[in-house]
Amino acid sequence: MPLPADLHPDPGCWPDQLPQEWPASGLGDNRAPFFVPQFADGTEAADLRFAAAEVLPGKYSLLGLPAFWGGGETLKVTLTDPAGLTVYLYYGVFEDCDLITRAAVLENTGTKPLTLHGVPSAVVDFARKDLDFITFDGEWAAERTPHRAPLRPGVQSVGSVGGIPLHYHTPFAILCAPDAGEATGEAWGAALVYSGNYRVQAELNAAGVRLALGIEPYHFHWTLAPGERFTAPEAAFAYSAGGYGGLRRCFHNAIRRHLLRAPWRDMARPRPVLLNSWEACYFAFDEAKLLELAAAGKKAGADLFVVDDGWFKGRSDTTSSLGDWVADPAKLPGGIPGLCKKINALGMALGLWVEPEAVSPDSDLCRAHPDWALHIPGRETLAIRHQYTLDFSRADVRENIWQQLTAVLDSAPIRYLKWDMNRSLANVYSAALPTARQGEVYHRYVLGVYELQERLLARYPDLLLENCASGGARFDCGMLFYSPQIWTSDNTDARDRMLIQYGTSFLCPPCVMGAHISAVPNHITRRETSLAARAALALTGTFGYELDLTAFDEKTLSELAVWSAFYRAHGELLRGGDLYWLCPPDTEKRGAAWAIVTPDGSEAMVFAAGEVLDGRSLPLPFADTQADYTAPDHGQTFAGTALRTAGLPLPACEGDFPGFVLWLRKEETAKEKA
């Protein structure tokens, strides 16, 4: 909180030389402002003073916003400004995974309206200056590549103004000591639990480093009438003295235990082996083709068949029909109920793809309600991918989509829904809000998405919801509160996925990463990679298939069925184990090695892909030197001491990007037997 001049311990000390818990502009702190309230008289300075603090039992929750749940207790700090503003700061503590969460609620306690032009979720001041800044950046089909550089004087930031986080950056960053690596050195991680416009910024100045994160101030202006409150999204922080490997495992445990929700938060509950129709058919299918594909998927060991884009009326390409969520009778004469019955008869469940936030200009919905799309009056509405974005800040728009979705989901036992979002927001103006409140549209849009997904989970508690945004453009903790898995990237090439999943894993555990075995040559890169490498990357995710299995012979389908059975047999380890990057990939994506280990160390799965499979030995830092390890599938035994020091011998493999997967089981030590 700002420290007024009369409270300074040193009268000669400037406010911007002191650490502050909730800094504001206008009172001598000349660091880059994030919190900017504007009072009715035009003043943009906040004089917040400490008023109270209390410890509350249980973890706080946030109205209308996702948040980590289940923590032991909450610290609530109250700050007041005599001009009529009260800020409530909330701190959640999760001792079992070394996570601290932060949130803020702002209340207009005055007699006149005030406007918020910027609201951080949290600000943290570091006294030290010698820190590196790691961000996770990229583009479509190349998301979340780690970039690390020493902080330079001034502000460095990443963020989005596209309405969703987008592919270019991720609402997560790390500050670390210059000597920090995978297993050594200090590292601090900060993640925003939010799925809209955001900013994560670090400022190096004379006092040290200030880390701030929250809603992007661009086009954010929120008016609070007297008595009204605004809730900022949650931020989550973790620290590790054991490098970003230790930091990674803090976040993984927190997400699995305290962000994912029932029934998928229980890592012992199996996830289905999924076959998606997209790369097999694209838009070119009918019921006969889908049934043929599903039958082949059953032979490959799939449990769930997902019909991707193209199942609704008139949809044969990207130019029409979004918003009309009714089955196309030309493709599905029996509708969704008829298809579902036939898929169930094959011994598989049915899932569907939808894009609820979008509407095609060529659709019944758009013709009936052209004002329901985001559009600026008097200007041409920009179509991206032949589609507009529905104004999800409006309750009537959300209700229409809700009625359409529930009609489909109530018509048949749909077990899975892939919720896609394929464009950024543009023409951001809502006909339902007055001119002075158009700065609220971006945030209200996100709240609308959250509300609709919350309603889905309440009505269909066993529905497996997978979010997607043109691949990985909305891969954040906010969406993970509603869906236990997110499609990691539209790029399913094993070599590229190795780096994408590596970057994603700094924050997110493998069990939330949508990952499938796809065809070769890959549909995006045209690259050939081995089945073993594709399987290794898919196993380090949700596991499934994204290819035309009808083109495969019985022998190949049987080989795929072995991988499906392997995933089922070891699913609890793969979903709930600790991830270790033993040989991280470089930006050239030449190869990598990694392992997933049960928390008690009794089992491990070791993976390798690419050029590391050259006959080298790979030290396993998690190996117990007092125990032996067996590889049951290969009939081998290894001494734990040898695995930890000399390393696991990797085979020398040839061919196009080879892969390797080995299951290790720890034998009881003499002490454990006793």
637 Cβ partners below 8 Å, 6+ apart?
A: 628, 629, 630, 631
> Hey, how many other C-beta atoms are within 10 angstroms of the C-beta on 75?
16
Count, residues in the chain: 674
3-state SS, one letter per residue, for 563-619: HHHHHHHCHHHHHHCEEEEEECCCCCCCEEEEEEECCCCCEEEEEEEECCCECCEEC
- 197 three-state secondary structure: coil
Q: How far apart are CA 82 and CA 48, in angstroms?
A: 8
Q: How far apart are CA 152 and CA 146, in angstroms?
A: 18
> Hey, how many other C-beta atoms are within 10 angstroms of the C-beta on 635?
7
- 413 three-state secondary structure: coil
Residue from 81, 328, 420, 496 carrying the catalytic annotation: 420
420 is catalytic: yes
Q: Give exposure, 389-410, as e/b (b: 16+ Cβ within 10 Å).
A: bbbbbbeebbebbbebbeebbe
> Hey, how many other C-beta atoms are within 10 angstroms of the C-beta on 429?
15
Q: How far apart are CA 498 and CA 504, in angstroms?
A: 10
What are residue 173's DSSP bridge partners? 190
Q: How far apart are CA 599 and CA 627, in angstroms?
A: 16
Q: Give exposure, 196-234, as e/b (b: 16+ Cβ within 10 Å).
A: bbbbbbbbbbebebbbbbbbbbebbbbbbeeeeebbbbb
186 Cβ partners below 8 Å, 6+ apart?
A: 176, 177, 180, 239, 240, 241
Dmax over CA atoms of the chain, in Å, equals 82
309 is catalytic: no
**Sheet (strand 208-215) strand order:** 120-126, 208-215, 198-205, 154-160
Burial of 85 (0-12, 13-18, 19+ CB in 10 A): buried
Q: Are 621 and 652 in contact (CB under 8 A)?
A: no
Amino acid making up residue 249: R
- 554 three-state secondary structure: helix
Q: How far apart are CA 140 and CA 159, in angstroms?
A: 16
Residue where the block lists tokens 């690390």 = 148
Q: Are 574 and 510 in contact (CB under 8 A)?
A: yes
Residue where the block lists tokens 């600026």 = 376
3-state SS, one letter per residue, for 486-508: EECCCCCCHHHHHHHHHHHCCCC
Strand boundaries in 373-523, DSSP class E: 388-389, 414-419, 464-467, 485-487, 513-514, 517-518
Q: In this structure, what token pair is assigned to residue 368?
A: 């009936």
Residue from 490, 493, 496, 624 carrying the catalytic annotation: 490
Comparing CA positions, the residue from 120, 88, 117, 122 lying closest to residue 215 is 120
Q: How far apart are CA 674 and CA 669, in angstroms?
A: 9
Q: Are 494 and 520 in contact (CB under 8 A)?
A: no
Q: How far apart are CA 438 and CA 436, in angstroms?
A: 6
Residues with a known catalytic role: 420, 490
